[in-house]
């Protein structure tokens, strides 16, 4: 079976940046499984997977526009230290969920200077070209329930189980 809309795909991958640094990999783990066409993975990789079959290997280069987007400068902001009430030591690398006009946003602390904390709401891989080495492990037709819920259900999940949306 080939990968198409509403197929469940399991694949192994290694993700590297343009310097060849490994950013993520499924090596030594179960393959990543997703529902094709439901927006469960970045658009550029999903597009490259279309029409592929189990056993196929591919290399995909995904631009920022089809990955995690370009860096948006407006998502980098300085906030007062007292916005982090209840947190003893705010340090670079810490992540928090910020409440914004557009809803919740994960932000990463990038700098702490005195009473000012700089946070970045961009995805850590925003602005980067992503290089994937992929091997398709399995392709199957999605169940009606998986299509309705917009995600893959694990083994043993029945009606109503695993529906976190």
* Tens-digit pLDDT profile for residues 67-106: 999 999 999 999 999 999 889 899 999 999 988 888 899 9
Give, as one character, the DSSP assignment of residue 145: H
Domain spans, the chain: 7-68+126-149, 73-120
* Tens-digit pLDDT profile for residues 136-159: 999 999 999 999 999 998 764 444
- Assigned fold of 73-120: Thrombin, subunit H (2.40.10)
Residues 6+ apart with CB under 8 A from 73: none
In this prediction, residue 155 carries a pLDDT of 61
Give pTM, 2 decimals.
Answer: 0.80
Residues 119, 40, 72, CA angle at the centre, nearest 5°? 30
In this prediction, residue 56 carries a pLDDT of 98
| Contact (Cβ atoms closer than 8 angstroms) between residue 137 and residue 6 | no
The answer, yes or no, to whether residue 59 has pLDDT greater than 90, is yes
Which residue has 């310097």 as its token pair? Answer: 19
| Contact (Cβ atoms closer than 8 angstroms) between residue 79 and residue 119 | yes
Tokens (6 digits) for 35: 């529902």
In this prediction, residue 117 carries a pLDDT of 96
User: 7-68+126-149 and 73-120: same fold?
Assistant: no
Match domain 7-68+126-149 to its CATH number in 3.30.70.250, 3.40.50.150, 3.10.50.40, 3.40.50.620: 3.10.50.40
| Contact (Cβ atoms closer than 8 angstroms) between residue 150 and residue 66 | no
* Tens-digit pLDDT profile for residues 4-31: 999 999 999 999 999 999 999 999 999 9
Residues 6+ apart with CB under 8 A from 74: none
| Contact (Cβ atoms closer than 8 angstroms) between residue 117 and residue 109 | yes
pLDDT bin (cut points 50, 70, 90) of residue 132 is: very high
- Rounded CA-CA distance 143/134 in Å is 24
Q: What's the chain's average pLDDT?
A: 91
The DSSP result for 8-56, as a single string, is EEEEEEEEE-TT--EEEE-TTSPPEEEETTTT-S-HHHHHHHTT--TT-
């Amino acid at each position: 079976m080939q990968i198409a809309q509403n197929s469940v795909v399991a694949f192994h991958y290694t993700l590297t940046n343009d310097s060849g640094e490994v950013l993520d990999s499924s090596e030594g783990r179960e393959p990543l499984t997703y529902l094709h066409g439901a927006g469960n993975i970045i658009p550029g990789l999903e597009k490259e997977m279309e029409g592929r079959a189990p056993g196929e290997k591919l290399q995909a280069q995904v631009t920022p526009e089809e990955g995690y987007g370009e860096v948006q400068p407006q998502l980098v902001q300085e906030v007062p230290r007292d916005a982090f009430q209840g947190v003893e030591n705010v340090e670079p690398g810490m992540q928090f969920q910020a409440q914004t006009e557009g809803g919740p946003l994960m932000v990463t602390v990038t700098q702490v200077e005195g009473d000012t904390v700089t946070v970045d709401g961009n995805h850590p891989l925003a602005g980067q070209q992503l290089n994937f080495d992929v091997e398709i492990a399995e392709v199957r037709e999605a169940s009606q329930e998986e299509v309705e819920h917009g995600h893959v259900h694990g083994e043993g999940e029945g009606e109503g189980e695993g529906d976190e949306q």
